[in-house]
Amino acid sequence: MSHLLERNIWDVPTAVVDFETTGLSADGGDRIVEVAIVRGSGPNDSNPSIYSQLINPGMSMPTRAQRIHGISDVMVAQSPTFSDCFAEFKPLLDGAIFVAHNAPFDLRFLKRECSRASLPAPSLDSVVDTLTLARSVFGFPQCGLSSLADRMQEPLTAHHRALADATATYGIYRRMLESIDPYQQMTVRDLHAHMDDMARGGKDRIAMKSFFKQAALKKLTVEIDYTKVNGNGGLKTTRKITVNALRPPHVQAWCHLRQQDRKFKLERIQRADFPN
């Protein structure tokens, strides 16, 4: 990461990437068979650039992979190789945040294909994994792409085809950013720090446990932002709770909204503070 770090994340070019492959192991010989990139001037861009291309992997398509994405040997027989089309899509990655769902998977394949073709891998200043974002910040119980698309009402009509997945990821990323940063003040560095701090064992998660431990001792009333895993609208709700006990992975408390005792999952609590 370099020059993008201090820029407002809403103003930074954003390239959402998805690869379909012959299998799960980039180092074990599996290859990319489809590339899709959705690049916007920022996550709110309503008219992003679109790139979608089938790739001839130079090997037969395993039956298991074809069952998942539906791409056959016949479909890719006349398609270009990765090295043939790399120059077409590389500019869409340059100078942008690289966003993907399970980004380490896509990055491994990108780097391995570049190495195999003796091409310089793109220099990426920032990588955001929407799978990690969904887990660490929101604590969604199901973080697969289709589950998140359903929750956020993002169209995903052809799951496991690259363009459909990249388009859905673009919308999911925007929705999560809207929830995390509603006033659009966050920098790229801020987002990375927030994801690290909210991950299991991160400093904000550790501080949150200490906060609830102290609140439980005195049965204090606090305010939390809590991830909504179902329903329409926003991805979190703000509510007051009176803390009775901290019993990880839950906080036991009286919910002022529901007027009943409830258990709140710590991983779904995004913020905890005393009410104004």
pLDDT digits (tens, 9 = 90+) for 91-122: 999 999 999 999 999 999 999 999 999 999 99
Measure Cα distances from 58 to 10, 32, 33, 68, 77 in Å: 39, 10, 9, 19, 9
| 131 shares a domain with 62 | yes
- Give me the pLDDT at residue 3, please: 78
| 168 shares a domain with 64 | yes
How does pLDDT run across 165-206, given as a tens digit for each residue?
999 999 999 999 999 999 999 999 999 999 999 999 999 999
Residue 120 inside a domain? The answer is yes
Whether pLDDT at 1 is above 60: no
Total domain count, the chain: 2
| 215 shares a domain with 187 | no
Say whether the peptide bond before residue 141 is cis (omega within 30 degrees of 0): no
The mean pLDDT of the chain is 96
- Give me the pLDDT at residue 155, please: 94
Q: How far apart are CA 91 and CA 267, in angstroms?
A: 38
| 135 shares a domain with 109 | yes
Range of the domain at 220: 209-273
Q: How far apart are CA 234 and CA 177, in angstroms?
A: 11
| 71 shares a domain with 15 | yes
Sign of the torsion formed by the C-alpha atoms of 151, 152, 156 and 157: positive
Residue 143 inside a domain? The answer is yes
- Give me the pLDDT at residue 226, please: 98
Task: Kindly write down the DSSP assignment for every residue of 113-137, as one continuous string.
Answer: HHHHTT-PPP--S-EEEHHHHIIII
- Report the share of the chain in percent with pLDDT over 90: 96
Q: How far apart are CA 91 and CA 44, in angstroms?
A: 20
**138: DSSP letter:** I
Q: Are 29 and 62 in contact (CB under 8 A)?
A: no
Which of 148, 166, 196 terminates a domain? The answer is 196
Any idea what the CATH number is for the domain that residue 22 is in? 3.30.420.10
| 83 shares a domain with 182 | yes
Residue 186 inside a domain? The answer is yes
| 134 shares a domain with 20 | yes
How does pLDDT run across 134-150, given as a tens digit for each residue?
999 999 999 999 999 99
| 255 shares a domain with 143 | no
| 153 shares a domain with 89 | yes
| 69 shares a domain with 14 | yes
Q: Which pair of tokens denotes residue 35?
A: 């590339």
Is 75 in a helix, a strand, or coil? helix
For the beta sheet containing 269-273, the strands, ordered from the edge strand earlier in sequence to the opposite edge, are: 260-265, 250-255, 236-247, 221-227, 269-273
Which residues fall within 8 angstroms of residue 27, CB to CB, at 6 or more apart?
108, 112
| 243 shares a domain with 176 | no
How does pLDDT run across 49-78, given as a tens digit for each residue?
999 999 999 999 999 999 999 999 999 999
Any idea what the CATH number is for the domain that residue 230 is in? 2.30.30
Average pLDDT, stretch 29-44?
98
CB atoms within 10 A of CB 143: 19
Whether pLDDT at 231 is above 90: no
Whether pLDDT at 2 is above 80: no
